[in-house]
Amino acid sequence: MTTPFDAAMLLGLSGSALIGIGLFVIITHPRVLRKIVGFNLLGAGIFLVFGVAAKRGAMAGLAGDPVPQALVITGIVVAFAATALAIALLKRLFELTGSSDLAPLPPDASSRRT
Amino acid sequence: MLPQAAAAAYIATSDGLLLVLSLMLPVAALLASLLTGARATKFLTFTASAAALALSVIIAVRIAQTGEAIVYVLGAWQPPLGLALRADGTAAVLLVITSVIMCATGLYAHWQFDLPSGTGDSRVSTVFRILMMAVWSALNAVFIGQDLFNLYVALELLTFGAVPLVCLDGRAETVAAALRYLMFALLGSLLYLLGAGLIYSTYGTLDLKILSGLADGRPALSVALAFMVAGLLAKSALFPLHLWLPPAHSGAPPAASAILSALVVKAPFFLILRLLFDLAPAISSRFAGQGLAALGALSILFCSIMAVRQERLKLMVAYSTVAQIGYLFLMFPLAVGTDVLPPWHTIAWTGGLLQLASHALAKAAMFLAAGVIADVFAHDRIRELRGFAHVLPVSAFAFGLGGLSLMGLPPSGGFTAKCLLLTAAIVEGYWWIAATISAGGVIAAGYVFRVISRAFSTPDLPLIPQRPVPRKLERIALALALAAVALGFLPLQPFTYLQVGRPSVSTWAAP
């Protein structure tokens, strides 16, 4: 690393920021749709971290480490499938109950909401 | 950043194709089912189940005969560029348990769908069969995978198969339970993926064997493992991340509940086991082990008490799953081993894996028996089930035998497992773990006897079965419960089979 602030560093910081925002949204927002968006933000941040791994690998003398890029493509496919499944379940829940929110757990399950 | 991998290369064994088959068979049946109709699906899943059961037994026997792990290197490309599959003794035990429970629940589901009271909807039974194959293949992939990213994909496949199983009957409560399960599972897999990314950027490989050679005390490794273990905890429903489990496991159809409770939650546990014992630096492993055991102890105490308080039979069984998973996590500080004793030679290692196996069999038996009870009386409110043993003696007996394992009473696999863990806790000086194991057994006795004492009492008004008693289904539950009891006749000592394919005493580098 020649300069203290290069592209990989910027990418890493953006990835970390996205991971933080995603986790915050998932944990604090009660609405399921928001949580699903949060999962996508978290996923995007993680893929950027993989991008940093590819870039850093390139600095070790390789033209560019292709393995993390292959992993990211697979990861995007899996994340897409997960989002589709979540949306399908949420849509079904809305059709059945008229609400797109998870009811709080019964009091005997726990006092916490998800 | 390619690691110096030459020394750690895998040597493929001649029977490695067995591992590929164990992954491919369920997937092939699944894909063929998607293209054909309900009748063909029934035939395909039956054939694939029988073949996969035989295959897992062959794998286990081969490992016992050769005394070595079975290894397959995909396309002969050595890691880190290629991928390896590897089954050692511990993985083989899990493969066999998985296929036994899958075959039993598959048969139960087959007969149950044919009942007059069954769904009668060929769509539900077809979807169940397809999802069962998906879960089976994903479980096998978790047990024999060697690459952290491969394992991530296997975990996600497991989630995608397990979540729809929860809401198979399509009621609003079960859809909500499935969605809640998916939220926890997705958070878990993304945290795991983040950890895998950090490991790749530090070591340049994701292969477990190469990593265990490279792993040093770098803080990046501990941070990555912390993310991965936290994610896996959400998937294996350890307290306080267990909130999704009781509604999900109690709302699913009985055969699906049995698969979810007996097998699906065990896969992330198995991964934590491998991460902590194969990768983690000794100090972090010790520290994390204490924390995991503390959470396990809280799981046991809190969820056993919750189980006692439940009004409904299936919810009670589901809460007891969380409690029994807690016992698995007690093995982390107990099985660390010493300078001269690798972890897999300790009695706690055997005790933990025996707890896994006996809980899988006992819990599947209890969910299947509870399914028969709920079907025959059209409800599962424990209070109103007085005297059900007079109508369903076999189910009551199966439920009680399964309960023996949960309580840890002899003769049962649960007794042997808890006895080994308790001995290890006393020898290692963990008094709080020993106290938790004893207290957990007493509370488990509380919730099991609460059902059993009602079952054999004489009701004021005799219970009237709403539907004919499905004897065949009762027998499957009984067979699984008897298998859990049979595990109790194993000797109280470390099993050498679980050590196959792991470093022996002579090659064990002290932590």
How many Å apart are CA A75 and CA B319, to the nearest integer?
33
Alpha helices in B115-171 (DSSP H): 122-144, 148-166
- In this predicted model, what pLDDT tens digit does every residue of B100-149 receive, in sequence order? 999 999 999 888 877 665 555 678 888 899 999 999 999 999 999 999 99
A21 touches chain B (CB under 8 A): no
**Are the beta carbons of B182 and A89 separated by less than 8 Å?**
yes
State the nearest Cα–Cα gap between B157 and chain A, in angstroms. Answer: 9
How many Å apart are CA B8 and CA B14, to the nearest integer?
19
| All residues at 6 or more sequence positions from B180 whose CB lies less than 8 Å from its CB, including other chains | A102, A114, B243, B244, B247, B248
Exposure of B220 in the CB half-sphere (CA atoms within 13 A)? 13
State the nearest Cα–Cα gap between B187 and chain A, in angstroms. Answer: 7
Exposure of B388 in the CB half-sphere (CA atoms within 13 A)? 34
A25 touches chain B (CB under 8 A): no
Contact A85, B160 (CB under 8 A): yes
How many structural domains is chain A composed of? 1
A87 touches chain B (CB under 8 A): no
Alpha-carbon B191 to chain mean position = 21
**Are the beta carbons of A92 and B149 separated by less than 8 Å?**
no
**Segments forming the whole domain that contains residue A18:** 8-97
**Are the beta carbons of A68 and B186 separated by less than 8 Å?**
no
How many residue pairs bridge chain A and chain B with CB atoms within 8 Å of each other?
Answer: 108
The first and second tokens of residue B489, run together, are: 């006749």
Nearest to A110 among B193, B194, B243 (CB): B243
Contact B461, B391 (CB under 8 A): no
| All residues at 6 or more sequence positions from A100 whose CB lies less than 8 Å from its CB, including other chains | A31, A32, A33, A90, A93, A94
* Annotated domain spans of chain B: 308-511
Of A41, A65, A71, A97, which to mutate for an interface test with B (greatest number of B Cβ within 10 Å)?
A71
pLDDT of B398: 92
Which DSSP letter does residue A86 get? H
Residue A88, in any domain of the structure: yes
State the nearest Cα–Cα gap between A33 and chain B, in angstroms. Answer: 11
The amino acid present at B60, given as its one-letter code, is A
pLDDT of B77: 84
State the nearest Cα–Cα gap between B346 and chain A, in angstroms. Answer: 37
pLDDT-based confidence at B191, cuts 50/70/90? very high
Contact residues, chain A, for B204 at CB < 8 Å: 57, 65
What is the ipTM score, two decimals? 0.88
How many Å apart are CA B105 and CA B363, to the nearest integer?
12
| All residues at 6 or more sequence positions from B455 whose CB lies less than 8 Å from its CB, including other chains | B385, B387, B388, B389, B396, B399, B400
pLDDT of B505: 72
The first and second tokens of residue B384, run together, are: 């109103």
Kindly report which listed range (A22-26, B278-282, B379-383, B400-404) carries the lowest average pLDDT score: B278-282
Residue A109, in any domain of the structure: no
Residue B365 has pLDDT above 60, yes or no: yes
How many Å apart are CA B194 and CA B190, to the nearest integer?
6
Contact B95, B143 (CB under 8 A): yes
DSSP calls for B261-286 = IIIITHHHHHHHHHIIIIIS-HHHHH
B289 phi-psi bin (left φ>0, alpha ψ -120 to 50, beta other): alpha
- What integer is the mean pLDDT of B254-261? 93
pLDDT of A109: 44
In terms of Cα–Cα distance, which of B419, B204, B440, B491 is closest to B325?
B440
State residue B494 phi and psi, 5-degree precision.
-65, 135
pLDDT of A112: 36
How many Å apart are CA B331 and CA B353, to the nearest integer?
9
* CB interface of A with B, residues 27-86, below 8 Å: 32, 35, 39, 42-43, 46, 49-50, 52-53, 56-57, 60, 62, 65, 67-68, 71, 74-75, 78, 81-82, 85-86
Q: Structure pTM?
A: 0.91
pLDDT of B385: 84
Residue A84, in any domain of the structure: yes
pLDDT of B4: 46
Residue A103, in any domain of the structure: no
CATH number of the domain enclosing A61 = 1.10.287.3510
pLDDT of A59: 57
